[in-house]
Amino acid sequence: MAVLNLFKNRRSIHEYSSKEISKKVLHRVFEAARWAPSAHNAQSWRFIVIRDSAIKWRLARTMASRWNKDLIKNGVQRENREILIKNSIERFTSAPIVIVACLTMEDMDEYPDERRQKIEHIMAIQSVAAAIENMLLAAHSEGLGSCWFCAPLFCQGAVRKVLGIPRDVEPQALITMGYSVNEPRPPLRKPLDKIVFQNYWGKTG
């Protein structure tokens, strides 16, 4: 029951205090990530921890510049784009810690055909996601707030350039982390009979 409450009480946090996260606490958070399950036990995750304000600012601005191009394609008006971009930059730069989760295929299997190689890549993505989830839950258990963003997927080249990430390593996610300044509302969740089926698709009860 205690574990279930941990899952239920975790929230995505957008506002943080300036309180610093100790190295010991952060070490435990990454230790939890390290013990996530992974395909072939390849542990295809790599993490970059950013505390430096200047680097956070450069990363946020570079990502925002790429996002602005996509917003223009979507037909978003300039005034609205400026608001969205300003909020995005503030969200990423105000967090005490920003973590960029990356994927490496270094120890994954290699196949001669495209179909199986694509599946292998998906397996690596799932492994990175498992590590991120462990990290979020561990952060919550330590009294920290965090939020998982997929923004790097839309601007992998920009993220690589700012952080010096090799071309064969893929930025997959950005996690903000810190001590929350408020208690967010519980998110809505679908009832179990809408997501759990028995034996066949759509069969409940």
CATH number for 112: 3.40.109.10
Whether 194 is in a domain gets the answer: no
Nearest-angstrom CA–CA distance, 77 and 73: 10
Strands (E), the chain: 45-50, 97-104, 145-149, 169-178
- How many residues would you count in the chain? 205
> How confident is the model over 109-141, as pLDDT tens digits?
999 999 999 999 999 999 999 999 999 999 999
Nearest-angstrom CA–CA distance, 173 and 46: 11
Whether 197 is in a domain gets the answer: no
pLDDT of residue 144: 97
Domain count, the chain: 1
Give the DSSP letter of residue 120: H
Tokens of 172: 């997959």
Q: Which domain holds residue 147?
A: 13-50+97-180
Q: For residues 96 and 19, is the Cβ–Cβ distance under 8 A?
A: yes
Nearest-angstrom CA–CA distance, 64 and 84: 9
pLDDT of residue 16: 96
Whether 90 is in a domain gets the answer: no
Checking if the pLDDT of 205 tops 80, the result is no
Whether 34 is in a domain gets the answer: yes
pLDDT of residue 1: 57
pLDDT of residue 2: 82
Name which of 175, 172, 148, 152 is nearest 162 in CA terms. 152
- What is the pTM (predicted TM-score) of this model? 0.95
Q: Residue 102: how many CB atoms within 10 A of its CB?
A: 22
Q: How many CA atoms, within 13 angstroms, populate the side-chain half-sphere of residue 127? A: 24
Whether 108 is in a domain gets the answer: yes
